[in-house]
């Protein structure tokens, strides 16, 4: 019998703090009634306990760990690391380090979460910096895009590492044996793009990685579903992600306005299947794909959007559950070792 996973939660992070966390756990019970999990909530007991008392089903699967210290959204990562010991974020990550929890979820300060996670959990051998993943909905399922904000500037070696991490992550979360991987570029021709992207392409091709690498892809390829993993730097990835979220809200607003613009439109909307409208609304709602994993650490760290409500936080918790149950940590080892060996051979040949 599979052990019930434990998820450690920074209950003080994000704009809504404990309210979104408790509502998020309640929503996970509704969305995935067959999943059994336990939650360690780190935060201010005076704020959390009344919320738990009001929701006995949530309280029954949660353990409250009190701390009155938290990382502020305005804290610089370097300052947060120095002052974070004993905070809700620090304590939540520490539970993954100790093995008490299989994953940690936080809506808190992204820079601080990354910095503290690196201090406590350390990086996997062969990975220089974490990358934040995003699950991008497509007609064929989901495309994984990384990095979407952790690394504004990346070298070619980092992009190769992201490809390895993203490919293993897609298999862990969405299944499939051989997800396709592409490098985001301004064109598919081999001479297009900057030196970093072209060098990363050459490194992947020369390293003999066990990967279905497809070469360069363009921005319009992200949403088609033809590529499973899209690799880019955090600057480009974050802009692409925020643009997509804004477009989804714009189109959702247009649909809502069209269905309520007149009595005729309202009657027509009433004749439509409510189930179909609900499915459309859910597919266009960014809250249902909320949550990005900080890939490359020696532990599972899930970053929820800072403005996530209970519905959005539930998505991040669901992602943490899947990752905690997966073999992701062991699956990335093979290709990381192969790439490191290729890099060593390249250095030896050059000397």
Say if residues 314 and 58 touch (Cβ distance below 8 Å): no
> For 58-71, how does the pLDDT look when each residue is reduced to its tens digit (9 = 90+)?
999 999 999 999 99
> For 198-248, how does the pLDDT look when each residue is reduced to its tens digit (9 = 90+)?
999 999 998 888 899 999 999 989 988 899 999 999 999 889 888 887 877
Was domain 1-127+296-330 assigned CATH 3.30.1330.20?
no
Assess whether the region 1-127+296-330 and the region 128-290 belong to the same CATH fold: yes
CA atoms of 166 and 160, how far apart (whole Å): 10
In our burial notation (b when 16+ CB lie closer than 10 A, e otherwise), range 150-172 reads bbeebebbbbbbbbbbbbbbbbb
Query: Would you call 259 exposed, middle or buried from its count of C-beta atoms within 10 A (0-12, 13-18, 19+)?
Result: middle
pLDDT of residue 85: 92
**Domain ranges in the chain?**
1-127+296-330, 128-290
CA dihedral (141, 146, 150, 153) positive or negative: negative
Three-class SS of residue 83?
Answer: helix
CA atoms of 71 and 73, how far apart (whole Å): 7
Q: Annotate 110-149 with three-state secondary structure.
A: HHHHHHHHHHHHCECCCCCCCEEEEEEEECCEEEEEECCC
Residue of higher predicted confidence among 124 and 244: 124
Q: What does the block give as tokens for 51?
A: 């919320």
Read off the pLDDT of each residue in 162-172 and give the average, rounded to a whole number.
Answer: 93
CA atoms of 106 and 113, how far apart (whole Å): 8
pLDDT of residue 1: 36
Quick one: pLDDT band at residue 331, thresholds 50, 70, 90?
confident
Residue of higher predicted confidence among 272 and 189: 189
Counting Cα atoms < 13 Å in the Cβ hemisphere of 260 gives 6
Three-class SS of residue 210?
Answer: coil
128-290, superfamily in CATH?
A: Isopropylmalate Dehydrogenase (3.40.718.10)
Phi, psi of 225 (to 5 degrees): 85, 5
Residue 266 has pLDDT above 80, yes or no: no
């Amino acid at each position: 019998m599979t052990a019930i996973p434990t998820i450690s939660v920074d209950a003080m992070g994000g704009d809504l703090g404990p309210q979104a966390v408790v509502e998020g756990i309640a929503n996970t019970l509704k969305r995935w009634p067959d999943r059994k999990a336990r939650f360690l909530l780190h935060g201010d007991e005076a704020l959390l306990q009344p919320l738990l008392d009001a929701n006995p089903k949530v309280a029954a699967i949660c353990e409250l760990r009190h701390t009155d210290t938290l990382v502020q959204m305005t804290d610089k990562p370097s300052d947060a690391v120095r002052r974070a010991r004993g905070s809700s974020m620090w304590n939540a990550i520490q539970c993954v380090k100790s093995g008490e929890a299989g994953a940690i979820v936080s809506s808190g300060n992204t820079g601080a979460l990354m910095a503290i996670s690196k201090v406590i959990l350390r990086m996997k051998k062969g990975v220089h910096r974490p990358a934040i993943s995003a699950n991008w909905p497509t007609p064929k399922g989901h495309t994984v895009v990384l990095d979407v904000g952790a690394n504004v500037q990346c070298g070619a070696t980092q992009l190769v590492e992201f490809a390895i991490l993203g490919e293993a992550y897609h298999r862990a979360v969405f299944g499939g044996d051989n997800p396709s991987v592409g490098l985001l570029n301004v064109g598919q021709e081999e001479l297009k793009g900057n030196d970093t992207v072209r060098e990363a392409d050459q490194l992947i091709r020369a390293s003999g990685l066990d990967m279905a690498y497809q070469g360069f892809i363009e921005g319009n390829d992200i949403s088609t579903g033809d590529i499973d993993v899209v690799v880019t730097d955090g600057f480009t990835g974050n802009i692409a992600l925020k643009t997509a979220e804004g477009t989804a809200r714009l189109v959702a607003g247009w649909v809502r306005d069209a269905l309520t613009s007149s009595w005729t439109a309202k009657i027509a909307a009433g004749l439509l299947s409510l189930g179909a409208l609900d499915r459309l609304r859910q597919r266009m709602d960014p809250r249902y794909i909320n949550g990005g994993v900080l890939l490359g650490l020696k532990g599972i760290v899930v970053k929820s959007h800072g403005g996530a409500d209970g519905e959005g936080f539930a998505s991040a918790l669901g992602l943490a559950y899947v990752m905690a149950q997966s073999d992701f940590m062991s699956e990335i080892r093979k290709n990381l070792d192969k790439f490191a060996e290729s890099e060593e051979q390249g250095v030896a040949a050059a000397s």
